[in-house]
Amino acid sequence: MTESSTTDAESSTELESRYGARRRSASPKSQRWMIIGALILALGAMVYFTVGNAVGQITHNDVGYTIISDTEATVDFEVSKDQDVTVQCMIHVLDNSYAVVGARVITIGPHEGSEPGDRSEYYRTELRTESRGVTGVVDSCWDIE
């Protein structure tokens, strides 16, 4: 053994006794399996959150409105829900200061269909107003069962 290799071995032993032995890194095969496992878990989580959030969820979107007169308006909207669920939605007509000048709760019962695309349907409702409105919106929808 040469003097430099003896010195390297002594310094390595001294460092190990002071700081502990060097960590071994995972083999390339183990790293590959860890990456594959992480990807499978990520894919599973994505499917769970995508499908799990759609089932049983009630959503609504404003489609349009028509101010017919100072005392009447119609609101068009879309509701997405499970086909066998009955929901109620609060519809508002607002004036230019965002005050509610008309309100109505409508009940939407079960409907036909079994495909995921059958969850959404469009509705139109008429509302009486206290004064002239400037917009019509769906405030909220909830399950009544």
How far is the C-alpha of 120 from the C-alpha of 103, rounded, in Å?
Answer: 23
Cβ-count burial 51-63 (b if 16+ within 10 Å, e if not): eeeeeeebebeee
Contact 124, 64 (CB under 8 A): no
Domains and CATH numbers, the chain: 3-54 (no CATH), 59-143 (2.60.40)
pLDDT digits (tens, 9 = 90+) for 61-114: 999 999 999 999 999 999 988 888 899 999 999 999 999 999 999 999 887 766
pTM for the predicted model, two decimal places: 0.61
pLDDT value, residue 1: 47
Token pair listed for 80: 């997405």
How far is the C-alpha of 135 from the C-alpha of 67, rounded, in Å?
Answer: 7
